[in-house]
Amino acid sequence: MAPAPAKYPTSALIDGQWIGSSATFAVLNPATGAEIAQVPNLGAKETKAAIDAASGALPAWSAKTAKERANILKRWFELVTADTEALAQLMTAEQGKPLTEARGEVAYGASFIEWFAEEAKRAYGKTIPTTVASRRYVTIKQPIGVVAAIAPWNFPIAMITRKVAPALAAGCTVVVKPSEDTPLCALAIAKLALDAGVPPGVFNVVTTMDAPAVGKVMTDDGRVRKLTFTGSTAVGKALYRQSADTVKKLTLELGGNAPLVIFDDANLEQAVAGAMASKYRNAGQTCVCANRILVQSGIYDRFAAALVDAVAKLHVAPGTDAKSTIGPLINADAVAKVETLSKDAVAKGAKVLTGGARSKAGPLFYEPTVISGVTANMDIVREEIFGPVAALMRFETEAEAIALANDTPFGLAAYLFSQNLSRAWRVAEKLDAGMIGVNEGVFSNEVVPFGGVKESGLGREGAAEGLEEYLETKFICLGAIDA
Residue 253: active-site member: yes
Measure the CA–CA gap between 400 and 65, rounded to whole angstroms. 54
Spatial CB neighbours of 291, under 8 Å, sequence gap ≥ 6: 256, 257, 258, 259, 384, 385, 391
User: Coil, strand or helix: which one is 207?
Assistant: coil
Give the CA count within 13 Å in the CB-facing half-sphere of 235. 19
* 8 A C-beta contact, residue 60 and residue 79: no
Task: Give the separation between CA 351 and CA 304, rounded to whole angstroms.
Answer: 12
C-alpha torsion 373→375→378→380, nearest 10: 70
Which SS3 state, helix, strand or coil, does residue 269 take?
A: helix
Residues 6+ apart with CB under 8 A from 327: 30, 31, 92, 96, 97, 98, 101, 282, 283, 317, 318, 319, 365
Chain Cα centroid distance, residue 234: 16
The region that residue 321 occupies, defined by phi over 0 for left and psi between -120 and 50 for alpha, beta otherwise, is: beta
Q: Which of 46, 253, 461, 468 is catalytic?
A: 253
Q: Which of 105, 119, 185, 287 is catalytic?
A: 287
Check if 287 is active-site. Answer: yes
Can you spell out the DSSP letters for 136-159? EEEEEEEE--EEEEE--SSSTTHH
The answer to whether 326 and 316 have CB atoms below 8 angstroms apart is yes
For residues 293 and 279, give the distance between their C-alpha atoms in angstroms, rounded to a whole number.
9
Burial of 393 (0-12, 13-18, 19+ CB in 10 A): buried
CA 372 to chain centroid, in Å, comes to: 29
Q: Which residues are catalytic?
A: 253, 287
